[in-house]
Structure formats: C-alpha cells, structure tokens
A and B are shown apart, each in its own frame.
Chain A
Amino acid sequence: AQTVTQSQPEMSVQEAETVTLSCTYDTSESDYYLFWYKQPPSRQMILVIRQEAYKQQNATENRFSVNFQKAAKSFSLKISDSQLGDAAMYFCAYRNTGTASKLTFGTGTRLQVTL
C-alpha cells in the first residue's frame, strides 16, 4: 500500500518570504500522480498543484512550485512571496493511475504566515 509522510506538523513563514513544505511517499508504481491540497479554516479542500510522475519537469502554478525527486520519492512544495492568505493546512496526496484510483493523504502541515 502507498503511504505519504509529511514530517512537519507546523511551519511558519514571514510575509513575502519563501517556505518549503516537505513530503515523501512510498510506492512500487512507476506512474502515478502527486498533489498538494490547501485547506483554509473554511474546511474547503483546494487543489494547489499536481505533478505527473512521468514528467521530469517540476510543476509550477504562479507562486507555488514543486521539487519532484522521483528516485528519492520526495515531493516538496515551495511557496514564494508568501501572503497572509496562504495560511492553512497543506496536504500532500498520492494517487495511482487508473480511473477509480484512490487518493492517499499525508497528515498535513499547518502553515502560519506572520507579518
């Protein structure tokens, strides 16, 4: 079974600075998807960024980018120019390919953004 590990329960960053959230996973598959979801206090789950394992290029979405190291099974999220609205729980998630495949989540990292 696949597992996803987020070893940082909480992180803090100053506004306008850069922060990196860590995620590692375990799988025997060669093709899969990785995601970062954001959960603000409203409880809504918001997709931040996704990465296809077969792509070597790291995904980017505006201020959000990932460092995908397939051999190391590492998938970190970098948030640049942090904003107060970035404060939330961040979940790393893994999914196999396949139409009905299930999403496996890490335990989350709570990000605080300070002035």
Chain B
Amino acid sequence: NAGVTQTPKFQVLKTGQSMTLQCAQDMNHNSMYWYRQDPGMGLRLIYYSASEGTTDKGEVPNGYNVSRLNKREFSLRLESAAPSQTSVYFCASKSYRDRGLVWGDSPLHFGNGTRLTVT
C-alpha cells in the first residue's frame, strides 16, 4: 500500500518555466490537498479538492493551478515559476472515514514532499 505518492522529489526551475507536480493516492480517499512549507511559516494550503470534480482555493493560490484528474490523482501546476515559489510542496489526502476512527474524524495522509527551487 503506497499511500500518497508525489513526483518528483526534487526539481530546479528557472524563472518563467512551467511544471506540474503530480500526486496520486491509492487509499480511495475523497479529498486531496496541496500545501507548501516555508521556514517559519508552517504549512499553508494552496488548493484543495473536496471530492472528484471539485477544486477550491486555499490560503495561497496565486501562481498555481490544479486539476483533479480522477479520484486518485490531483496535480499542481506552476505556469510561470517565480523565485517566491521556492518551497517544499506536500500533497495530502483524507476520506470521510478512516480505519478505526469515527465518521468524519480522519487525519490527513501526507506524501513525502517535493523540494522545488526556482532560480
């Protein structure tokens, strides 16, 4: 059981380049999330998808787009990368119910992160 898989693990971009971060989960989770982690700022939500076919902005959506391709996959795209987007990006997922927990009480399952550097 792989859980949440993010690719790539590391990436270096030049300003203005584009790229897509991939995320896939095999736990049949309904909701998926993209966070970025910066020193001293914790994790901040970029976009999320409550269920297949829906996406919504989080706290810091500017400069990003997302696609919920199907129930398993949720990608994050940087159309024109900027140095301010240098960060570690985490994908996460959860369901309405998790093993051993009551209905609605489900912790997030995280991927291992992507370290992105924009020069």
| A95 nearest CB across to chain B (Å) | 9
B-side contacts of A100, CB under 8 Å: 30-31, 48, 50-51
Within 8 Å by CB of A107, from B41, B88, B113, lies B41
Interface string of B82-96 (1 = CB under 8 A from A): 000000101010001
B104 within 8 A of A: yes
Q: Does B13 contact A (CB under 8 A)?
A: no
B40 close to A (CB within 8 Å): yes
CA distance A45 to B113 in the complex (A): 9
Chain B, interface size category, equals: 20 to 34
Contacts of B110 in A (CB 8 A): 44-45
- Is A30's CB within 8 Å of the partner chain B? no
Out of A91, A98, A102, which one reaches B42, CB within 8 Å? A91
Bound Cα distance A104, B33 (Å): 12
Q: Which of A7-37 contact B (CB under 8 A)?
A: 9, 33, 35
10 A-B pairs, CB-CB below 8 angstroms? A42-B112, A50-B105, A99-B50, A102-B33, A102-B45, A103-B43, A103-B45, A103-B108, A107-B40, A108-B42
Q: Hey, which bits of chain A sit against chain B, CB under 8 A? A: 4, 6, 9, 33, 35, 42-45, 47, 50, 52, 91, 97-100, 102-108
